[in-house]
Chains A and B, each alone.
Chain A
Amino acid sequence: EPEVTQTPSHQVTQMGQEVILRCVPISNHLYFYWYRQILGQKVEFLVSFYNNEISEKSEIFDDQFSVERPDGSNFTLKIRSTKLEDSAMYFCASRKFTGGEGEKLFFGSGTQLSVL
């Protein structure tokens, strides 16, 4: 079964450093997302991306965050200057289209980001 692939699985960085989290969505999917989950808390929406632009973002997704689809297969989340509170599991997700079965959101296994 096709799956969303995320790399790396773990990322440790120093506060103030830039990190890039990488994702390869399922190949025929059109909508891409980043979510995050702080340890022990619920999964939170960060941003959605369609047709090479952001379609919606949460209040968490401030100017320190950016997303990009640099080629036909990768989808990245960049955090420009990491803070301690950015430590979380970051999940990439994708779905095929809107409505019906296409509404199913498929999640990757996540990147655990630790900011020291």
Chain B
Amino acid sequence: QQQVKQSPQSLIVQKGGISIINCAYENTAFDYFPWYQQFPGKGPALLIAIRPDVSEKKEGRFTISFNKSAKQFSLHIMDSQPGDSATYFCAANHGGTGKLIFGQGTTLQVKP
């Protein structure tokens, strides 16, 4: 019940296209859902986060869509660029503890 399932494992998108990564969770106590971006040899960096009281959050080219009833959330990267090529992790947390449960990660490659 503590798992966060992420798909796809890898994704190839053409420059300018939309990248979509999906996550699903079981624990309804989760109340904070961040997305992290990780480049090789670096630590995860917070990209965008959402709480379950809103269905969508947008920051620049990055949008989180949240479906509370389905217990799913997704990251959309609009106008994908080669510089977006990285591994993306969804995560979940409850109670503000900072103990993040991460998904398995999605390796995104944006082709020029």
Contacts and interface: CB of A to CB of B under 8 A. Distances in A.
B98 A33 contact: yes
A42 B105 contact: yes
Interface of B is mostly: loop
Q: What size tier do the contact residues of chain B reach?
A: 20 to 34
A31 B100 CA distance: 13
A75 interface: no
Contacts of B43: 4, 91, 93, 107-110
A45 interface: yes
B85 to A, nearest CB: 17
Given A56-B99, A98-B96, A43 B42 contact: no
A28 interface: no
Contacts of B89: 42-43
A56 B94 CA distance: 13
Interface in B88-102: 89, 93, 96-102
A48 interface: yes
Contacts of B102: 42-44
Q: Interface size class for chain A?
A: 20 to 34
Contact of B32 (A55, A91, A103): A103
Given A103-B32, A104-B49, A43 B99 contact: no
A95 interface: yes
Nearest to A46: B99
B62 to A, nearest CB: 15
Interface of B: 32, 34, 36, 41-46, 49, 89, 93, 96-105
27 contacts: A35-B100, A41-B104, A42-B104, A42-B105, A43-B36, A45-B99, A45-B100, A48-B98, A48-B99, A91-B44, A93-B98, A98-B97, A98-B98, A103-B32, A103-B49, A103-B93, A104-B46, A104-B49, A105-B34, A105-B46, A105-B100, A107-B36, A107-B43, A107-B45, A109-B41, A109-B43, A110-B43
Given A33-B99, A42-B102, A91-B44, 7 more contacts: A48-B98, A93-B43, A98-B98, A104-B34, A107-B44, A109-B42, A109-B43
